[in-house]
Amino acid sequence: MIEALDSSTLNFNQDSLFLLNISLAIIMFGVALELRMVDFKYIAKNPKAFWLGIFSQFFFLPFLTLLLVYLISPPPSVALGMFLVAACPGGNVSNFLTHLAKGNTALSVSLTAFSTGFSIFITPFNFALWSSFYGPTANLLQEISLSYFDVFQTVALILGIPLILGMLVNNRFPNWSAKATKILKPVSILIFAAFVVIAFLGNYDLFLKFIGLIFLWVLGHNFVAFFSGYSIAKIGRLNLADTKTLTIETGIQNSGLALVLIFTYFEGLGGMAIIAAWWGIWHIISGMSLAMFWKRIKETNPVPITQKG
């Protein structure tokens, strides 16, 4: 039964895929409308927490994912989905969850913006690199003959261009941006959520058949992601607000981007698609639970959470 995951595919037509791409671009545009140069200046003022967050997101999480894959030995398509999720940038909902948890919102915004912008290069590279370290996924990628330049183009179109346009618009029309983001963000997230539900309903039998197998894998992988951010923050001796931020930023991944890449280049490969889809549902549940828990915990002599000027 487990082996059947590698040969199964999820149904998702081209029109739905196009609309999913548009919704992700709108989400990214809405996030960019909230970005200001002061968010990036925060990096220069507080480099330690920022670079620890980048290390956690782009190196430690993929490394721990590789260890987890060797430990649990999932089917190749499932392992490939785990590597892809780990290679994606942080999800934009992490900013909301960080604020809810009373973490460092300025740091969260900076990390999300940087990881999203540079994911144009880092996501294809990290996915190829870490997948090559595990024999079954390396062999599967050779069979698929994936073009990483095509992946680069897709990520640039979906994330890079909307990010740049949103920041330009915000810089030129700040008042309009403030109003537009209040509408764009919830609408685009609702559209994306609708697509996840549609994908689930269209493949209900397949989800029902395999959900018991992948639930613990996603649970474990998501725990590893949270642990990555938390442990790096503790090793770096960051304050509680920054620790919350790194934990949430690393634990919340852009599974929507992963789904787009899976349906575009892997034809909805079952193990990959189910991992990404369930991750998209589960990390909201786990992230919200963690944020609500941390909301009640305060640090003695806390550092101000934001330093926007």
Which of 122-126, 187-191, 264-268 bottoms out in mean pLDDT, i.e. has the lowest? Answer: 187-191
Give the tokens for residue 233: 């923050």
Question: In this predicted structure, what is the pLDDT of residue 299?
Answer: 61
Give the whole-angstrom CA distance, residue 21 versus residue 260: 7
Q: Counting every residue, how long is the chain?
A: 309
Do residues 94 and 248 touch, judged by C-beta distance below 8 A?
A: yes
Question: In this predicted structure, what is the pLDDT of residue 303?
Answer: 46
Question: In this predicted structure, what is the pLDDT of residue 222?
Answer: 96
The mean per-residue pLDDT over the stretch 274-303 comes to 80
Question: In this predicted structure, what is the pLDDT of residue 307?
Answer: 44
Which of 45-49, 109-113, 202-206, 244-248 bottoms out in mean pLDDT, i.e. has the lowest? Answer: 202-206
pLDDT over 60 at 308, yes or no: no
Highest mean pLDDT pick, 1-15, 166-180, 292-306 = 166-180
The mean per-residue pLDDT over the stretch 20-45 comes to 72
More reliable by pLDDT, 196 or 3 = 196
Question: In this predicted structure, what is the pLDDT of residue 309?
Answer: 39
pLDDT over 90 at 298, yes or no: no
pLDDT over 50 at 221, yes or no: yes
Q: Report the number of secondary-structure helices (H) and strands (E) in the chain.
A: 16, 0
The mean per-residue pLDDT over the stretch 108-124 comes to 83
List b or e across 211-233, with b for residues whose CB sees 16 or more CB atoms inside 10 angstroms: eebbeebbeebbebbbbbbbbbb
pLDDT over 90 at 82, yes or no: yes
Give the whole-angstrom CA distance, residue 192 versus residue 275: 17
202 CB contacts (<8 Å, ≥6 apart)?
10, 11, 12
Question: In this predicted structure, what is the pLDDT of residue 145?
Answer: 65
Structural domains of the chain ordered from first start: 12-294 (1.20.1530.20)
pLDDT over 80 at 189, yes or no: no
Give the whole-angstrom CA distance, residue 7 versus residue 145: 17
pLDDT over 70 at 158, yes or no: yes
> Which residues make beta-bridge pairs with 253?
90
Give the whole-angstrom CA distance, residue 158 versus residue 191: 15
pLDDT over 90 at 244, yes or no: yes
pLDDT over 80 at 168, yes or no: yes
> Which of the four pLDDT bands, split at 50, 70 and 90, describes residue 184?
confident
The mean per-residue pLDDT over the stretch 183-198 comes to 71
Place of tokens 């060797």: 70
Which of 65-79, 130-144, 185-199 bottoms out in mean pLDDT, i.e. has the lowest? Answer: 185-199
Question: In this predicted structure, what is the pLDDT of residue 1?
Answer: 55
Do residues 285 and 222 touch, judged by C-beta distance below 8 A?
A: no
The mean per-residue pLDDT over the stretch 87-91 comes to 85
